[in-house]
Amino acid sequence: MEKTEFLTPFGIEFNLAQGAMLDYEERVVRRASDLRTYYRDDDALEQLIAEGNDPLLYEVFEKDIPESYGHLRVVVSKLQPGKVGDEFFMTKGHYHTVSGTAEVYLCLRGAGYMLMKTMDGHSHEERMVPERLIYVPPHWAHRTVNTGDEPLISLCVYPGEAGHNYGDIKEQGFPQRVVEKDGSAVIEHS
């Protein structure tokens, strides 16, 4: 058995009604310019960056938990509502670097989808709504998409050693895109 890093037990404070981790220690911010090449409509993204002063699209609130074997990373992911062209705001999406590690997402607020895919061509989507937990099995890349008009907020828990592999998704994308058509959210498959 691998040796795990010693940590003194602790609690984490939440306001579940707001979907907020109150005593987070790190905050990762992703702005529109961080999502260049991810959306189908590059011009619409550039327009959003220029006219919206490079708006914040999503944040991840984190506790200082070791990114190593045996630990569980506990974070809150908060994705703003909006669209780039007709495509709803989404996270970059990633495989875990240690790809055989799972993750759970408990949706706290908002509405949207979890898009998932595997390296060998499977794809799958799950609806995200409050009080629904999505189990992302090992080997499935995952991306969240906000189809509502308020932030989509989830509590995520994943193994400390998982790591994030963004490169493969940046190059290949997902086979699913979630777009607005005639006023409703539609998942397109390529």
Binding positions for ligand PAN, rule: CB under 6 A:
30, 60, 75, 77, 91-94, 103, 142, 144, 156, 158, 162, 164
d(CA 157, CA 110): 19
Pick one of Zn ion, ligand PAN, none as the site partner of residue 145 (Cβ within 5 to 8 A by kind).
Answer: none
Shortest reach from residue 54's CB to ligand PAN, in Å: 16
Shortest reach from residue 81's CB to Zn ion, in Å: 21
Is the backbone of residue 25 left (phi > 0), alpha (psi -120 to 50) or beta? Answer: alpha
- Identify whether the C-beta of residue 74 lies closer than 8 Å to the C-beta of residue 67: no
Shortest reach from residue 144's CB to ligand PAN, in Å: 6
Pick one of Zn ion, ligand PAN, none as the site partner of residue 115 (Cβ within 5 to 8 A by kind).
Answer: none
**Which residue number, 156 or 179, has a Cβ lying nearer to ligand PAN?**
156
**Which residue number, 62 or 103, has a Cβ lying nearer to Zn ion?**
103
**Which residue number, 48 or 57, has a Cβ lying nearer to ligand PAN?**
57
Pick one of Zn ion, ligand PAN, none as the site partner of residue 60 (Cβ within 5 to 8 A by kind).
Answer: ligand PAN
Among 62, 103, 125, 161, binds Zn ion (CB under 5 A): 103
Q: Which residue shows structure tokens 């010693």?
A: 6
Q: Which residue shows structure tokens 């404070």?
A: 13
Angle at CA of residue 104, ends 103 and 109, nearest 5°:
135
d(CA 47, CA 106): 33
Shortest reach from residue 164's CB to Zn ion, in Å: 7
Neighbours of 186 (CB within 10 A): 12
Shortest reach from residue 6's CB to ligand PAN, in Å: 23
Is the backbone of residue 129 left (phi > 0), alpha (psi -120 to 50) or beta? Answer: beta
d(CA 171, CA 144): 18
**Which residue number, 144 or 147, has a Cβ lying nearer to ligand PAN?**
144
The helix or strand, by DSSP H or E, that contains position 157, with its residue range, turns out to be strand 152-159
Minimal CB distance residue for Zn ion = 103
Binding site for Zn ion (CB under 5 A): 103
